[in-house]
Amino acid sequence: MRVKLDMSDSSSQIGMSRRQFAKLTSMGAVAVGTGWMTPSAHPSETNVAEQETRIPLKIGHRAASMKMVGNFDVFKMARQMPGLLGVELQVASGKPNLWDPDAVHRYKRQANRWGMMIPSVAGVWDRGVSIMQFPAAADNLTRAIRVAEVLGASVVLVAFFQKQAPDMRDESSYGPVVEVLRRAAPAAADAGVTLGLENSLSPSDNKKLLDSVDHPSVKVYYDPHNMARFGHAAEAIPGVRLLGKDRICQVHVKNGQRLLEEPGLVDWRAALQALNEIGYEGWHVFESDHTNHAQVIEATVKNIAFLRRNCQMPFG
């Protein structure tokens, strides 16, 4: 069953120009007393024209990783972390969740109240549903696209791992997944939404899957840590260059319970350098492991500083 959501109070964040986004997010950064320049920069040392045209570093946090699923105060908490501009919400989990139109509008109002954006929605599968199951998967994706459109989110995270992921050596395995994505892609395009695939496939298999779908609204939600975790460590960073700017719509950033600057499955300095090289301009969304809300704030502030030191955002 498709859920029809009232669009009467929606104000899309989709299709903003670089300059419009820079203006919006730099004003939001000023509101929390940070600014979008790197910590070492000082207004007297920075050209005013550069401040007006440089694209702000788009940093978000996954609500689930903040331990705030189903909690409308998630944006209030996010504002306690200077430099954090958005929150990735879960669709099917939590009570209430985003299948409830009233909850969707309440989340939207809270995001506006606290000056936060919603770059993406995740967790789109109902219990027992995976991308391998048609027509249930197509129904979940169609409904999630509608939710994303109302919230102004530009990405719907489409997750499938291990047994739920297709065998890219066998067309009878990946063919149905391609069909589900092809069916959902036009609706995503109409809503100004990208379907971001996050899975346990290698970068080369992800490229093959995207090429098989062959639609600009289907891309990869890249997670270097997951690449290493699921047996593709040697490809995690080269995979950024293999897929390139045109195939990566968003990036998850995590290092387990460690800070990004600490040793882990991925060398995050090298990963961010690879993203710099391809000219990546999208969101970096934290998916770190945390023990409590205080630790979320402490670790995220440090990780934001790390991103600012290592990410190079282009000019508009």
Rounded to two decimals, the pTM is 0.85
**Interatomic CA distance for residues 213 and 205, integer angstroms:** 12
- Which CATH number describes the domain made up of 18-310? 3.20.20.150
Could you give the C-alpha distances from 124 to 116, 159, 171, 195, in angstroms and in order?
Answer: 21, 8, 25, 11
Q: How far is CA 240 from the centre of its chain?
A: 16
Domain boundaries, the chain: 18-310
Question: H or E segment at 230?
Answer: none
Q: Which two tokens stand for residue 206?
A: 């992800």
* pLDDT for the residue 136: 94
> Is 81 in contact with 43 (CB distance < 8 Å)?
no
| Four-CA torsion 144, 59, 207, 137, nearest 10 degrees | -10
Q: Which two tokens stand for residue 186?
A: 């036009």
Q: Does residue 96 have a cis bond before it (omega within 30 degrees)?
A: yes
For residue 170, the one-letter residue type is: D
Burial (Cβ within 10 Å: 0-12, 13-18, ≥19) of residue 162: exposed
Axis-axis angle for helices 171-191, 136-151 (nearest 10) = 30
DSSP category for residue 303: H
For the chain, list residues with pLDDT below 50.
1-4, 7-18, 20-46, 48-52, 315-316
* pLDDT for the residue 5: 52
* pLDDT for the residue 312: 82
Could you give the C-alpha distances from 163 to 173, 211, 312, in angstroms and in order?
Answer: 11, 22, 37
In 3-state terms, what secondary structure has residue 219? strand
Burial (Cβ within 10 Å: 0-12, 13-18, ≥19) of residue 291: exposed
* pLDDT for the residue 39: 37
